Amino acid sequence: MYRILVCDDEEEIVSSLTACLTAEGYQAVTARTGWEVLNILSKQPIHLALLGTKLPGLDGLTTVTRLRQMYDLPVILLTSGTDSTENILGLTIGADDYITKPFQQAELLVRIRCHLRRSLHLASPSPETLTVGGITLDDDARAVTVNDEPVSLTPLEYDILKFLMQHPCKVFSPQEIYRQVWREPPAAENSVAVHIRHIREKIEVDPSNPRYVTVVWGKGYKIEAGV
């Protein structure tokens, strides 16, 4: 049974989601604060986390930053929807997805299933080493190095980079990348662009003038093979 952690500052949302998840066959684990989220993660396996951004004490975005230093589970943010900057920042620091309040539980359940399916698929990857220029991706260890220096990527950043490295020089639209990596129809409009920008910040010498992950205006992104 999948264990899903639910933490939000609105008790009604936590209660409603707990009932919904239980009815769908999941085990819901609840927390009231960001600190409690980190404590729970240290004591029991959690397969996915639903986190509000306005948590008391340690806010949701800071909680994501801290848990990403230790854990590799899907995280969906429950955001207010009034500040798009918050949504983009959440994806940038390591959240896998977000859904804005008020939301339909049916939509959230679809997103949960998609992320759990992707997570399960990645739990037993086929060993593979990909190399493009100075970038080496060891899929068996899920590790990336650039010029022999280790690079720390979030799970989605890793999956995007791997997908592009599997198809060097081929251009993919943001919608195609979203479908291949998220394994669902495109939803969040800026998700791919945000993750691409963050990947560049980690693998490029000059992210504003990238050598590896480049854009073909009006078409999409590709990774250059001859660098």
> What is the per-residue pLDDT for 180?
86
Q: How do residues 26-77 score in pLDDT, each as one tens digit? A: 999 999 999 999 999 998 889 999 999 999 989 999 999 999 988 889 999 9
Task: Give the pLDDT band of residue 129 (cuts 50, 70, 90).
Answer: confident
Q: How far, in Å, CA of 6 to CA of 48, rounded?
A: 9
**CA–CA distance, 174 with 75 (Å, rounded to integer):** 21
Which DSSP symbol is given to 210? -
The Cα-based distances of 118 to 121, 125, 180, 181 in angstroms read 5, 11, 10, 8
pLDDT at 121 over 70: no
Q: Which residues of 190-205 are buried (b: 16+ CB within 10 A; e: fewer)?
A: ebbbbbbbbbbeebbe
Three-class HEC string of 109-173: HHHHHHHHHHHHHHHCCCCCEEEECCEEEECCCCEEEECCEEECCCHHHHHHHHHHHCCCCCCEC
pLDDT per position as a tens digit, 144-170: 999 999 999 998 899 999 999 998 888
pLDDT band at 213 (very low <50, low <70, confident <90, very high): very high
Query: What is the token pair recorded at 144?
Result: 């990336």
Q: Is residue 188 predicted with pLDDT exceeding 70?
A: no
CA distance 142 to 165: 14
Report pTM.
0.59
State yes or no: pLDDT of 221 exceeds 90: yes
d(CA 150, CA 191) in angstroms, rounded, equals 24
Q: Is residue 99 within 8 Å of 81, Cβ to Cβ? A: no
